[in-house]
């Protein structure tokens, strides 16, 4: 039962353009959503998060949008840079007694071409 889904295994973007990574979820109990970036041979690195009571959170070049009615979130990277090339995971957290448990999507490989 895949509660968090990233339906695009890969995305290719030109440097300077916008990258949009998408994520869908099925569990309406999720109340925090996070995006992580992962380079080969390294652990995931936290990028940005959003609470379920918000619909947008911005941090520099990264913006996350949440559409609760559609159970959909997206990460926008503007402008994209070659160093952004990595695997991006969205993750969700239910809070309460779900200590430590993040539910991850399968990841999207982003390639930014110079």
Partner 1 sequence: KAGVTQTPRYLIKTRGQQVTLSCSPISGHRSVSWYQQTPGQGLQFLFEYFSETQRNKGNFPGRFSGRQFSNSRSEMNVSTLELGDSALYLCASSSAGAPYNEQFFGPGTRLTVL
Residue 13 vs 34, nearer CB to partner 1: 34
DSSP symbols for 5-73? E---SEEEEETTS-EEEEEEE--TT--EEEEEEE-TTS--EEEEEEETT-SEEEETTEEEEEETTTTEE
Residue 14 vs 51, nearer CB to partner 1: 51
CB of 7 to partner 1, least distance (A): 13
The contact mask relative to partner 1 for 24-43 (x = CB under 8 A, - = no) is --------x-x-x----xxx
Of 64, 75, 65, give the one whose Cα is nearest residue 22: 75
Residue from 69, 83, 99, 114 touching partner 1 (CB under 8 A): that is 99
Identify the sign of the CA torsion 36, 111, 108, 24. Answer: positive
CA distance 15 to 76: 14
Residue 12 vs 98, nearer CB to partner 1: 98
Residue 16 vs 95, nearer CB to partner 1: 95
| Residues near partner 1, by CB under 8 A | 32, 34, 36, 41-46, 49, 51, 89, 91, 93, 95, 97-107
């Amino acid at each position: 039962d895949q509660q968090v889904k990233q339906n695009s295994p890969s995305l290719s973007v030109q440097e300077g353009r916008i990258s949009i990574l998408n994520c869908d979820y099925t569990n309406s109990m999720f109340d925090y959503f996070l995006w992580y970036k992962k380079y080969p041979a390294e652990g995931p690195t936290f990028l940005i998060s959003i609470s379920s009571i918000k619909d947008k959170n911005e941090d520099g070049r990264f913006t996350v949008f949440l559409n609760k009615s559609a159970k959909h979130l997206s990460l926008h990277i503007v402008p994209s840079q070659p160093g952004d090339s990595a695997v991006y995971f969205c993750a969700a957290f239910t809070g309460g007694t779900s200590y430590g448990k993040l539910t991850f999507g399968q990841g999207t490989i982003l390639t930014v071409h110079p």
